Amino acid sequence: MAVSSIEPQVPETDSAAGLVKRLGLQFGAGAGLACVLWMVALQVTGSNGFGPKQILAQLLVPLAAVASEWLLRRQLAPLKPGLGRSLGVGMLTVLLAAVISAGGVLGLAYGAGEPALARNRAEVAEIVRAQVRENPKVKRSEQEIQQQLQNVSHLTVMDLVKSNFTVVVLFGLVLGLPGGIFFRE
């Protein structure tokens, strides 16, 4: 006889730890691939795949973390997942998404080549100059501005990878931690 319920069915052999790993891998890989696909789409359409528009896809990571925590709670019902499992699935989701996203930046950088990186450096330098013009309240010396522009001109692929990884992890933690605490019960 078929089970006709809208509740998700968890196989009897699927332990809570296995469920945490499975959900973390599924949601983390999905969010990470979404980030990579977004960057590639930006690059293919002529936008800067390394620029500030990356944030639009990186915001999916905390949503994926919260979704994985919610689904863990729902699939373990009537049991409670507890704080460790709830935070564990969220952090696994975030870390996997960050690794995949950073790997995507690395692959895109080597695939797009130096012209794309040079264009990114030029855009970042223009953003720095615009910030100086638009925010006269912040007094910075000419030496500080020149140092910042020099740092921008020396951006490497690994700098972009580290930055991407850091931003994705921080965005993920912003919602992932409170979500894990909320969904523990």
Whether residue 79 lies inside any domain: the answer is yes
Q: pLDDT of 173-182, one tens digit each?
A: 998 888 888 8
Residue 82 lies in a domain: yes
- Give the distance from CA 152 to its chain's centroid: 22
pTM given for the model: 0.84
Distance CA 166, CA 170 (A): 6
Contact 107, 39 (CB under 8 A): no
Q: Considering the domain boundaries, does residue 68 fall inside one?
A: yes
Residue 108 lies in a domain: yes
Does some domain include residue 12?
no
Query: Which of the 8 DSSP states describes residue 167?
Result: H
Q: Give the residue carrying structure tokens 């949503």.
A: 63
Give me the chain's average pLDDT, please.
88
Residue 158 lies in a domain: yes
Which pLDDT tens digit goes with each residue over 76-85? 888 888 888 9
CA–CA dist 119, 59 (Å, integer): 24
Q: In Å, how far are 126, 128, 130, 132, 146 from 142, measured between CA atoms? A: 16, 13, 14, 10, 6
- Give one word for 135, left, alpha or beta, with left for phi > 0 and alpha for psi -120 to 50: beta
The number of distinct structural domains making up the chain is 1
Containing structural domain, residue 172: 17-182
Q: What angle do CA 160, 178, 60 make, to 5 degrees?
A: 40
Residue 32: pLDDT band with limits 50, 70, 90: very high
